[in-house]
Structure 1
């Protein structure tokens, strides 16, 4: 195609930018606290070439890794493409060679059997390394200083899965990373590889098991003793792919499942719990244990959030008609049976964030994105086509909810949390906020917000001099972590 399609995936905040650039000493409005010292990495899908098909989606965009480097109240910025095998092949050809989203049967024959991942979903920091990940392939290691791509990462050949999740979990006490890959041995497979890496980034465990059907497992959770795998009825079908169709189709009448196993145990110890049909959640906030029970908090909807996945399953529903909320599932591990309790604890929303120290533990507060009805119609952009315009802070234990609502014509991306050195302070949240200033013109800024007083708005802002494309996920890495990693590298 000579030009990008004029669809929701390529207009508004999803308008392709495709520019690698960097800048030092960006303007800062307000004062950035001195304890915010490190780097905010962002995963930004941005197609380097117009797609082969006009119904392509934002999730197919080439991965770009962006970095806000913050020190002494000063801010530098850089963004570069992740040079995956796919990116390199298309760069040489000067055109798209890979076809529909996660469907290799629609690719140009010249790239048959080549790595299709675009590494565009989540920056992951562990063991002194930075990875860019997308769940349809292995992660790519990126130099945290220069953002140069180092290469595909498979733990020096020890990790045998073909895929790596975009949502691993790191235990705050042990430093271990727990992760998995689904479709681990090929397209539409039910096989899942569950793995553990120690705090230094060495693979210490890998086990394989089957899920009830081939579903998209975007996220999972850990507690101090368990690993939790939610299975929602968005399914893959090999015959549909061979016919040139969608990888994922939501099955509204198919049951959901949750698999729970001891996190250091054997996959044969997996216990399956049966859930309501048709429900869907892409992101889990947290899980923790209490008196023999496991609580799992997740951003639950009554159907799939992505229109193209619903439509592939024959579901015609307007985005505004989807219902759900922040929901708590409680599993009594001391009782027999496959049921669990469910209650709503917060308004609808997504992109949840909590303190790293609270991972897998009881927590007091967390944050996630939602809609501010007073903020007018949402901006077009982001993975599902419409952007969030409010940030919520919630205390599930007592039901308190605070909101930072944006003005009309504004949108907000997922925040990252920066811990405070003061024990009585909740830390800081960093996020990119966009504002529409013309029919097809947008301005972006980095906002710094007090995590315990979000309704006060930003304490500092960093206006960006060039357009920015909507982010998927982000990660905060402290200066101390970056320095330790740098000292381990050979001279």
Structure 2
């Protein structure tokens, strides 16, 4: 191709920006709370080259790691490409060499056997190291001070899985990281690797098991006693991929499953529960133990939220017709059988955020993105083609829900949570808000909003102005100053 396609994956907040930059002393409207010291890292897919195929998608863009760096009330912004094996090969060739999303059979022959991962989904901080991750490969370590790429991370050769999730779970009390990789043994394999790394970043356990069918396991949960693996019917087929087709196709008539095993146990202790047909969820708020009960809170929809995955399965549904809710699934581990209970908890949405200390434990509140019906038509862009326009705060114990909307036509990205040292102050949310700057969907201005976490309806106490548009992020993470200064890689 000679130019970027004009599909939803390349317009609006998905417009390719392709710029590495550093900007010091960003303009601030309002006052940044003095205790906010550290860095907000963001994973930003952005094509370095025009794609090989016109039906390419936003998730197939090169990974960039972005950083808002807070120090003594000043904010700097930096963004760099993650120098994956794939990125470097294409940089040298000055063109795209890798073909369709997660389909190596569509690549240029010159890159056969090279690592295809884009490291474009989630920045992960653990054991004094920063990683950029995408679930189709291993993570890449990033220097948190310079954003330079240090290289692929495999726990000094100890990790056997070929893949590493973009959604590990870190127990704030023990410091351990629990993670998995699916298609761990290769393309379309049933292999899932379940791993644990200690607080210092050493791999202490890796066990493999088979999932019921080859599905996209994007996220999982832990509790104090269990590890939970939800399986939804968006499936891979090797023959379809070899024929140049889609890696993923959603099967609306296929059942979902949930596997639960002791988090420090053996994979042969896995117990499988049968879920409803055709449902889908990419992200989970949290899970926790309640006696013999295990509660897991799911951003559930009645079909796959990604149109390209639905269409590959022959499902014709408009985005606005998809139904869902924040849903609680409850499993009684004391009873035999494979059934569980389900109840709706809150409005539909996705990209949830939880305070770190509540991971795997009964939690008081959480936040996620949703749609404000009074916000007008959604801003085009993002992984599903339409951006969210509201942040919802929910208290699962009493069902209380509050919401912060953004201006009409604007979009809001997944927030991060920044804890407060003041017990009377419930911490802060940070989220990038994109606001239209004229009729052209590619013309908008991005700001970073700082919002009181327990008073989201009051709106931001500070706005960090970029005075330019940023491409949509996927996920982000907050790292405080003390952790940054104690990092394994130095500036």
Q: Tell me whether the two structures share a fold, i.e. TM-score over 0.5.
A: yes
Q: How does 1:372-451 map to 2 (within 5 A)?
A: 372-438=372-438, 439=440, 440-451=442-453
Say which SS state the counterpart of residue 10 (structure 2) adopts.
coil
| TM-score normalised by the chain length of structure 1 | 0.99
2:178 corresponds in structure 1 to 178
Partner deviation per Cα, 1:21-58 (whole Å, 9 max, x = no partner): 00111111110001111000000000000000000000
Say which SS state the counterpart of residue 374 (structure 1) adopts.
coil
2:457 corresponds in structure 1 to 455
Conserved 8 A contact 1:331-1:341: yes
1:478 corresponds in structure 2 to 480
Q: How does 1:5-404 map to 2 (within 5 A)?
A: 5-404=5-404
Partner deviation per Cα, 1:345-367 (whole Å, 9 max, x = no partner): 00000000010000000011100
| Deviation at residue 424 of structure 1 after TM alignment | 2.9
| Deviation at residue 94 of structure 1 after TM alignment | 0.3
Return the alpha-carbon distance in structure 2 between the equivalents of residues 424 and 292 of structure 1: 34
Return the alpha-carbon distance in structure 2 between the equivalents of residues 348 and 466 of structure 1: 30
Partner deviation per Cα, 1:171-206 (whole Å, 9 max, x = no partner): 011000000000001110000000000000000000
Return the alpha-carbon distance in structure 1 between the equivalents of residues 181 and 391 of structure 2: 31
Return the alpha-carbon distance in structure 2 between the equivalents of residues 442 and 490 of structure 1: 35
Runs of 4+ that moved beyond 3 A: 488-491
Say which SS state the counterpart of residue 472 (structure 1) adopts.
coil
| Deviation at residue 426 of structure 1 after TM alignment | 1.5
Say which SS state the counterpart of residue 90 (structure 1) adopts.
helix
Return the alpha-carbon distance in structure 1 between the equivalents of residues 50 and 421 of structure 2: 46
Residue segments in structure 1 that go unaligned for 5+ positions in a row: none
Return the alpha-carbon distance in structure 2 between the equivalents of residues 455 and 489 of structure 1: 39
| Deviation at residue 490 of structure 1 after TM alignment | 8.0
| Deviation at residue 489 of structure 1 after TM alignment | 4.8
Say which SS state the counterpart of residue 458 (structure 1) adopts.
coil
Residue segments in structure 2 that go unaligned for 5+ positions in a row: none
Partner deviation per Cα, 1:369-411 (whole Å, 9 max, x = no partner): 0001111000100000000000000011111100101121100
Return the alpha-carbon distance in structure 2 between the equivalents of residues 490 and 406 of structure 1: 38
Conserved 8 A contact 2:129-2:489: no
Conserved 8 A contact 2:143-2:490: no
Say which SS state the counterpart of residue 407 (structure 1) adopts.
coil
Return the alpha-carbon distance in structure 2 between the equivalents of residues 42 and 253 of structure 1: 36
| Deviation at residue 313 of structure 1 after TM alignment | 0.4
| Deviation at residue 465 of structure 1 after TM alignment | 3.1
Return the alpha-carbon distance in structure 1 between the equivalents of residues 398 and 459 of structure 2: 23
Partner deviation per Cα, 1:277-305 (whole Å, 9 max, x = no partner): 10000000000011210000010000000
| Deviation at residue 422 of structure 1 after TM alignment | 1.5
| TM-score normalised by the chain length of structure 2 | 0.99
